[in-house]
Amino acid sequence: MADHHQAAQFHAGTLTDGWHWLGAHPAERRNKRGWIFRVWAPHAQNVSVVGDFNSWDETANRLARRGEIWEGFIPGLRQYDIYKYAVTGEDGETRYKADPYGFHMETRPATASKLYDIGGFRWTDAAFQARKRQVYASPLNIYEVHLGSWRRRENGDFLDYRDLARELAAYVKDMGYTAIELLPVTEHPLDDSWGYQSTGYFAPTSRFGTPHDFMWFVNHMHKNGISVILDWVPAHFCKDAQGLYQFDGTCCYEYSDPNKWEHASWGTRVFDYGRPEVKSFLFSSARFWLEEYHIDGLRVDAVASMLYLDYDRQGGAWTPNIHGGRENLEAIEFLRELNAMAFAQDPAVLMIAEESTAWPLVTRPAEVGGLGFNLKWNMGWMNDMCHYLKLDPWFRQDHHRDITFSMMYAFSENFVLPISHDEVVHMKGSVVGKMPGDYKNQLRCTRGFYAYLLAHPGKKLLFMGAELGQWHEWNSNQQLDWYLLDNEENRQIHQFFKDANAFYKKTPALWEIDFSWEGFEWLVPDDNHNNVVVFLRKDKKGRDLLCAVNFSPNTYENYRMGVPPRRKYVPMLNTDDPAYGGDGFGDTAAVPVEAIPSHGKEHSAAIRIPAFGAVFLRGEGVFPKPRAKKQAKDVET
Query: Counting Cβ atoms within 10 Å, is residue 76 exposed (0-12), middle (13-18) or buried (19+)?
Result: exposed
Q: Which amino acid type is present at position 312?
A: D
Across-strand partners of 563? Answer: 603
Query: Are residues 373 and 361 in contact, defined by beta-carbon separation less than 8 angstroms?
Result: no
**Under 8 Å CB-to-CB from 415, ≥6 apart: which residues?**
375, 376, 377, 378, 381, 457, 458, 459, 515
Q: What is the rounded CA–CA span in Å between residue 226 and residue 495?
A: 20
Query: Are residues 557 and 608 in contact, defined by beta-carbon separation less than 8 angstroms?
Result: yes
Query: Are residues 390 and 402 in contact, defined by beta-carbon separation less than 8 angstroms?
Result: no
Give the CA count within 13 Å in the CB-facing half-sphere of 309: 22
In the set 213, 354, 514, 539, the catalytic residue is 354
Annotation says 354 is catalytic: yes
Q: Which amino acid type is present at position 167?
A: E
Smallest CA-to-CA distance from 454 within 493, 416, 407 is with 416
Q: Which amino acid type is present at position 152?
A: R
Angstrom CA distances, 65 to 50, 59, 75, 102, 355, stand at 17, 15, 19, 19, 41
Q: Residue count of the chain, please give it.
A: 637
Helices 439-455 & 488-506, crossing angle to 10 degrees?
10
Long-range contacts of 52-59 (CB under 8 A, 24+ apart): 52/81, 52/82, 53/77, 53/81, 53/83, 58/86, 58/88, 58/94
Annotation says 384 is catalytic: no
Q: What is the rounded CA–CA span in Å between residue 195 and residue 14?
A: 27
Angstrom CA distances, 52 to 49, 80, 99, 443, stand at 10, 11, 15, 56
Query: Are residues 577 and 616 in contact, defined by beta-carbon separation less than 8 angstroms?
Result: no
Query: Are residues 239 and 269 in contact, defined by beta-carbon separation less than 8 angstroms?
Result: yes
> SS3 for 568?
strand
The alpha carbons of the chain give a radius of gyration, in whole angstroms, of 28
In the set 272, 301, 423, 576, the catalytic residue is 301
DSSP character at residue 336: H
Query: Are residues 411 and 457 in contact, defined by beta-carbon separation less than 8 angstroms?
Result: yes
How many other CB atoms sit within 10 Å of the CB of residue 251?
Answer: 18
Q: What is the rounded CA–CA span in Å between residue 115 and residue 25?
A: 8
**Under 8 Å CB-to-CB from 315, ≥6 apart: which residues?**
none
How many other CB atoms sit within 10 Å of the CB of residue 147?
Answer: 24
Query: Are residues 623 and 567 in contact, defined by beta-carbon separation less than 8 angstroms?
Result: yes
CA atoms 201, 88, 70, 274: torsion sign = positive
Q: What is the rounded CA–CA span in Å between residue 188 and residue 199?
A: 5
Q: DSSP 3-state helix, strand, coil percentages of the chain (rounded to 5)?
A: 30, 25, 45
Q: Which amino acid type is present at position 135?
A: V
Q: Which residues are catalytic?
A: 301, 354
